[in-house]
Structure 1
């Protein structure tokens, strides 16, 4: 696993494991549903990788699926709840499929349009910026257990892009991503690792050991 050079801040962003709605493709914001049995297995597979890391801070979204993932990954004893890590509030689109929404609004994209009676892109961008501002004063490794759309928004804001660019950052269930800094230019934020699932991490480890 990658350690922060000179104790530069690195954010280990973990998306929660599979839920019934992430499997079906239904938008899941404020609905508090648990992991599936497979989602629990996915979260447990993160444990061997995360236990190798010394974390200065562990934060999790208040949603059950994120807290479960944190616990099964072995970090619940260190975790603190951070409401700003919550998923996008989908408002009227909660529980709906993008395909169905597009029948009514063919050009709809949450990163551009937000959701009626839910959050706007500007509101989610502000939340991401608050997380970044809070953590920038720290050094070392910080674990963040959160959600797919918010993680994409956070990555975009971390490297100075507008939130709308988050649409280009796909995030799989139970994936690990690292947001850090350029070693030779420590004031330059970079994406060190993106959307690595346990199977990919295992393959990479086997490759480096050959």
Structure 2
């Protein structure tokens, strides 16, 4: 059984103020670094074979912080780069609505394109790391496309807002992918009940 623990990257300054990042390469902020450290602390007690990451700074930094704690190979895969939002990257929701009230953004990557790219990446992981345990550090839209595809639309960005540094788990068993859980945040101190 191939298992993939999918981790959304930690927070960036643009996340904190609601700017759409897409492929704009923004690094983690202090909160994001702390969230990545909390993820590392959470996953360190489990056995992992490899970390796969998007090459964008916010994902790669998250993956590198985790790797320092568990010392396993880290590879970058372009398939898991965030969706390109074209001309609206760097804009807040209010700015996007004002500029493009119909929601059609110039030069935006289509959902069909990103879904095909991301699911091809999942297939590559399954072929290269069959019956292994993989950590995958990626982005909100990327993770939502995986969850949407595997749940036949039951879990999607229209229904679920993925939290920075959340964890979702999928596994390939009996010749199909299954979602074990998603958007888990109990490892993040910000969400612990006091």
Q: Taking structure 1 as the reference length, what is the TM-score of the superposition?
A: 0.79
2:184 matches 1:193: no
Give the CA deviation at 1:181.
4.9
CA contact (8 A) 1:132 1:158 kept: no
Which residue of structure 2 aligns with residue 94 of structure 1?
Answer: 89
Count of residue correspondences: 188
Counterpart CA distance in 1 for 2:14 and 2:71 is 24
Give the CA deviation at 1:166.
3.7
Which residue of structure 2 aligns with residue 44 of structure 1?
Answer: 37
CA contact (8 A) 2:51 2:72 kept: no
Q: State which drifts further: 74-83 or 151-160.
A: 74-83
CA contact (8 A) 1:67 1:76 kept: no
CA contact (8 A) 2:10 2:58 kept: yes
Aligned-residue CA RMSD in angstroms?
2.6
Of 87, 101, 121, which aligns to 1:131?
121
Give the CA deviation at 1:158.
2.6
Task: Please give the residue correspondences for 1:31-70 in structure 2 after superposition, counting only pairs within 5 Å.
Answer: 31-70=24-63
Task: Please give the residue correspondences for 1:11-22 in structure 2 after superposition, counting only pairs within 5 Å.
Answer: 11-22=4-15
Change (3 A) 1:30 1:66: same
Change (3 A) 1:169 1:80: same
Which residue of structure 1 aligns with residue 135 of structure 2?
Answer: 143
CA contact (8 A) 1:29 1:88 kept: yes
Of 29, 52, 73, which aligns to 2:66?
73
- Considering fraction of residues, name the structure with more helix: 1
Counterpart CA distance in 1 for 2:116 and 2:172 is 21
Give the CA deviation at 1:203.
5.7
Which residue of structure 2 aligns with residue 172 of structure 1?
Answer: 163
Which residue of structure 1 aligns with residue 77 of structure 2?
Answer: 82
Which residue of structure 1 aligns with residue 149 of structure 2?
Answer: 157
CA contact (8 A) 2:171 2:179 kept: yes
Give the CA deviation at 1:101.
1.7
